[in-house]
Amino acid sequence: LRKDGKPIAVLIAISPIKSSGGEIVGAISILKDISEKQQHEQERRYVLSGARCLLWYADIREANEAHLWWYLNFPDEEAARRFLPLEIHAGETFTHAWYRSRLPDDRKSSDVTGHGSVRDNKSYEQEFRCVCADGSIRWLHEDVHLEIIEPGKRWLAVGVCTDVTARVHSEEALRESERRLRAALHAGNMGVWEWDIRTNAVSRSEETERLLGLIPGTFEATYDAYDRMVHPEDREAQHAALAYSIASGRPYQHEMRIVAPDGGIRWLQDTGGVVYDDHGQAVRMLGTVTDITERKRLEQQFLQSQKMEGIGRLAGGIAHDFNNLLSVILGYAEMVQMELNEDSDLLPNVQNIQSAATRAAKLTAQLLAFARKQVSEARVIRLNDLIVGMNSILKPLIREDIALIAKLAPDAGRVKADPAQMEQVIVNLIVNARDAMPHGGKILIETANVTLADHPLREQTTVVPGEYLLMAISDTGVGMTTKIKDRLFEPFFTTKGVGKGTGLGLATVYGIVKQSGGYILVYSEPGIGTTMKIYLPQVAEAESDRHEAPRAQIDLRGSETVLVVEDEPLVRELTAITLRRNGYTVMEAENGVLALAAAAGYPRDIHLLVTDAIMPEMGGKKLADALSEVRPGTRVLYVSGYTEEVTSIQGILPVGVAFLQKPFSANGLLKKVREVLDAKQA
């Protein structure tokens, strides 16, 4: 204790004083105040135990080529034990436990790192896991500073270990959430991008690279490189969207096409927003891209089918009125012709009127087919038989330099279709194939059974699942560009010169296939050829009887009573006149209600009802049914009315009823009337 009562630490050294004879004669004692040193020691302990780290130092010596001795020590082992509460086995030192507690994998890797770095005379850092006495696992970060004492032989090392468990766990959690985000973006076909406006650098997620069709790592990460990928036609709109967003601070959403490095075009929806700095300067844009190619394709398909529907309605509407007029023109021309003498100068004129009107009627019929308003006499048929039977029709159509090959599946199923219409389909397709091969080639007709599940036909939005018969007609001709393919089925679309093509061939095919509940697909590449695939629903019913009653030469005149019901006055009048002139008694009515009233007031038999199939208020079928209640013996002949509603004519008129198609000639009408009247009663 010093005089002022403060304790001090003193080091006392005593050494003897000897005489020349070796006798101890005295002693020298030196007292040294070491208070300060002790304080340093205390401070050191305080620092070591308070620092949230573990310190070690090691003297490292080479044992041999493969081994190093590490003489490892802890400047304050107490502090080290507190910092890292390891389990220490009996007889074990902390140094040993320090090494043993590492997870086996980490022990191996830390050995390799430590050994390698020392051999390379390099300081190093590493991370590893230790198991503590309570079983918990701690992540340690070890920063090792190395000093070379004797190159290749001896080193000194100081290690500082910090506990980074919390950081590693949060990193893991972050990685996990990133992984989840990536999976979600991948599932949503959504890529993320970021554009640093000041440096022009663009960074993007893996998904973005995939969406853009980039090979990872091959893309220059700049805005300009990205911009070059945007389809030239969409670039301006894209720039405008970005500029608007930067100026307004509002996010933007924009649809655009990009041209992938492989040349493929994809539709992307690009969404983004701007980040500003403190001075209101736009510094970054962030956003996502989503692949909407499929949606776009469906949209375009929808528009296409809307367009076809619209054109069909227009064409059908015109054809309907036109057809009625043609009936009248043909009818009166025929009457004039009958009244003229064989040697009349006017006869050729009338015949010209007739032939022109007949040609017009054929065109109209094609338009009606396209508009799906042609009356179809659907029967259960085998397409194979039909194709084989057409051989003699098809042969003259194609030239000698074209080979026609048929590959028909022997088990090909039955379909329900109008055979005459199906023949028309095949002829139109074969003629197109021929025209596509001016220098010769091959035409292949195939049939096969196919099952369409929900399998989307490429061009169709919806498919009714089921068994279908596929008929494919392929050629090795010039093929088609996408532009042509898009308009193929439009009526009057033709690439053939004036007077060569009508542009009605495929329009008719389209209408017939649709009317039969089928689908048609086009596969065509310029220079390679074309395949038209037609899918028709198969039916289980047996084939309809193909043998028609032999057509005897029949007298066209008659004396029966006929009730003519037709809302179109000109047509009704013409029908009535034609029948009267040929001996029939004719009653006329302009609609079903009046027809029933007339029939009720008529005292004698009515042998035949000739009625328009579709009329306002009461349709032909309804009228016939009502009439048969009171007059079961009356036979019925339907004249097809080409109004809008006729699309569903198959639903309105049962299969197998007597039909007469407008426009009809006087002869056609008389023949059909006799046929119906003379048919054996069922």
Applying CB under 5 A, the residues found at the interface with Mg ion are 432, 505
**Minimum CB distance to Mg ion, residue 207 (Å):** 46
Q: How far apart are CA 644 and CA 638, in angstroms?
A: 17
**Nearer to ligand ADP among residue 478 and residue 614 (C-beta):** 478
**Minimum CB distance to ligand ADP, residue 492 (Å):** 8
478 binds ligand ADP (CB under 6 A): yes
Three-state DSSP class for residue 585:
strand
**Minimum CB distance to ligand ADP, residue 479 (Å):** 6
Instruction: Please compute, for residue 330, the number of CA atoms within 13 A of its CA located in the half-sphere on the CB side.
Output: 24
**Nearer to ligand ADP among residue 380 and residue 444 (C-beta):** 444
- Nearest residue (beta carbon) to ligand ADP: 505
**Among 194-202, 400-408, 496-504, 636-644, which window interacts with ligand ADP (CB under 6 A)?**
496-504
**Residue 475 binding result from ligand ADP, Mg ion, none, given CB thresholds of 5 to 8 Å by partner type:** ligand ADP
531 binds ligand ADP (CB under 6 A): no
Q: Which of residues 399-458 bind ligand ADP (CB under 6 A)?
A: 428, 432-433, 436
475 binds ligand ADP (CB under 6 A): yes
**Nearer to ligand ADP among residue 292 and residue 433 (C-beta):** 433
| β-strands 529-539, 519-525 pairing | antiparallel
Residue 433 CB coordination number (10 Å): 27
> By CB under 6 A, how many residues form the interface with ligand ADP?
22
Contact at 8 Å (CB) between 141 and 164? yes
**Nearer to ligand ADP among residue 389 and residue 526 (C-beta):** 526
Query: Measuring CA to CA, how many Å separate 61 from each of 72, 147, 240?
Result: 11, 12, 70
Pick the binder of ligand ADP from 54, 480, 610, 660 (CB under 6 A). Answer: 480
**Residue 480 binding result from ligand ADP, Mg ion, none, given CB thresholds of 5 to 8 Å by partner type:** ligand ADP
Q: Comparing C-alpha atoms, which of 378, 310, 324, 362 is closest to residue 615?
A: 324
**Minimum CB distance to ligand ADP, residue 219 (Å):** 39
227 φ, ψ (degrees, to nearest 5): -60, -35
**Nearer to ligand ADP among residue 508 and residue 591 (C-beta):** 508
Pick the binder of ligand ADP from 269, 354, 502, 538 (CB under 6 A). Answer: 502
**Nearer to ligand ADP among residue 317 and residue 501 (C-beta):** 501
142 binds ligand ADP (CB under 6 A): no
**Minimum CB distance to Mg ion, residue 439 (Å):** 18
What number of residues does the chain have? Answer: 682
Please identify which residue in the block is written with the tokens 């330099």.
Answer: 401
Q: How far apart are CA 34 and CA 10, in angstroms?
A: 5
**Nearer to Mg ion among residue 34 and residue 431 (C-beta):** 431
**Residue 503 binding result from Mg ion, ligand ADP, none, given CB thresholds of 5 to 8 Å by partner type:** ligand ADP
The angle, 0 to 180 degrees and rounded to 10, between the axes of the packed helices 293-339 and 569-581 is 40
Quick one: DSSP state of residue 35?
H
393 φ, ψ (degrees, to nearest 5): -80, -40
Q: How far apart are CA 491 and CA 501, in angstroms?
A: 11
495 binds ligand ADP (CB under 6 A): yes
Pick the binder of ligand ADP from 44, 407, 496, 580 (CB under 6 A). Answer: 496
**Residue 381 binding result from Mg ion, ligand ADP, none, given CB thresholds of 5 to 8 Å by partner type:** none
**Nearer to ligand ADP among residue 122 and residue 496 (C-beta):** 496
Reported for 426-430, long-range contacts at CB under 8 A and 24+ positions apart, including other chains, are: 426/386, 426/387, 426/390, 426/394, 426/471, 426/473, 427/390, 427/393, 427/394, 427/397, 428/505, 428/506, 428/508, 428/509, 429/473, 429/505, 429/509, 429/532, 430/394, 430/397, 430/398, 430/404, 430/473
Pick the binder of ligand ADP from 258, 488, 563, 574 (CB under 6 A). Answer: 488
* Nearby residues of 269 by Cβ (< 8 Å), 6 or more positions away: 253, 254, 255, 289, 290, 292
477 binds ligand ADP (CB under 6 A): yes
**Nearer to Mg ion among residue 436 and residue 618 (C-beta):** 436
Q: Which residue type occupies 282?
A: A
123 binds ligand ADP (CB under 6 A): no
Please identify which residue in the block is written with the tokens 């009818």.
Answer: 331
DSSP 359-390: HHHHHHHHHHHHTT-S----EEEEHHHHHHHT
Contact at 8 Å (CB) between 608 and 676? yes
Pick the binder of ligand ADP from 493, 535, 642, 664 (CB under 6 A). Answer: 493
How far is Cα of residue 526 from the mean position of the Cα atoms in its chain? 24
**Minimum CB distance to Mg ion, residue 358 (Å):** 21
Please identify which residue in the block is written with the tokens 């009802």.
Answer: 609
**Nearer to ligand ADP among residue 242 and residue 433 (C-beta):** 433
503 binds ligand ADP (CB under 6 A): yes
**Nearer to ligand ADP among residue 179 and residue 496 (C-beta):** 496
**Residue 419 binding result from ligand ADP, Mg ion, none, given CB thresholds of 5 to 8 Å by partner type:** none
| Contacts with ligand ADP, residue ranges (CB under 6 A) | 428, 432-433, 436, 475, 477-480, 484, 488, 493-496, 501-503, 505-507, 530
